[in-house]
Amino acid sequence: MTPTLVIVPGLGDSGPDHWNTLWTEKFGAARVRQDDPEAPTAEGWTARLQEVVEATPGELVLVGHSCGVLTIVHWARLYGGHERVRGALLVSPTDAEQANMEELAPAVRQLAPVPLSPLPFPALVIASENDPYVSFERAEAFADAWDAAFVSAGEVGHINVASGHGDWEEGEILLGEALHAWTPPEVSRF
């Protein structure tokens, strides 16, 4: 059985042309909708993710973008993960501790410090080599701390609509590969 995707958007709830929104529709995914998508807090945003996890039956795969990634790692810290979570696709993790974040997106600072503990489920971090919201080295360090696999997407910005990523086909391929790796082989009976 294919797990249900749970889309965890970042600031602004990802607009109608963002791959988060397109995947929600395309895959019939559950989606985390924050009360205030412009004002993240670790406690508030993770509580909403917990509500969606509890309300969504079956096995789950979390798919976060930007501050959605931070929501997932804070959720794992605060709630301990969940036995039904098969894995997480963590795209363009924002660095809430980055020195210039106050100028780029001051609201993101509310998600600092970034948890650096291993995640209780498999994860894949996908990062750009020229993302203004996280250095490539810091994204690699996040993946290492979270005990996650790491993939470079090349020099592709923040992997959002502004950087030309609406219907993100490369992401779908990586998601498919991750799902295959996170799905236990069927046990055959003789």
Question: Which string of DSSP letters, residue by residue, matches 127-171?
Answer: E-TT-TTS-HHHHHHHHHHTT-EEEE--S-TTSSGGGT-SS-HHH
Q: Is the pLDDT of residue 188 over 60?
A: no
Confidence of residue 37 (pLDDT cuts 50, 70, 90): very high
Quick one: pLDDT at residue 190? 40
Please write the tens of the pLDDT for every residue from 97-108: 999 999 999 999
Tell me the mean pLDDT in the region 81-105: 94
Quick one: pLDDT at residue 103? 93
Quick one: pLDDT at residue 22? 92
Please write the tens of the pLDDT for every residue from 112-130: 999 999 999 999 999 999 9
Q: What is the pTM of this model?
A: 0.94
Tokens 């909708």 belong to residue = 33
Confidence of residue 189 (pLDDT cuts 50, 70, 90): very low
Q: Where exactly are the structural domains of the chain? A: 4-182
Q: Is the pLDDT of residue 187 over 50?
A: no
Tell me the mean pLDDT in the region 183-187: 59
Please write the tens of the pLDDT for every residue from 156-181: 989 886 787 778 989 899 999 998 88
Q: Is the pLDDT of residue 56 over 70?
A: yes
- CATH number attached to the domain at 4-182: 3.40.50.1820
Tell me the mean pLDDT in the region 120-147: 97
pLDDT, mean over the chain:
92
Question: Which string of DSSP letters, residue by residue, matches 44-113?
Answer: HHHHHHHHHHHHS-S-EEEEEETHHHHHHHHHHHHH---TTEEEEEEES---TT-TTHHHH-GGGGGGPS
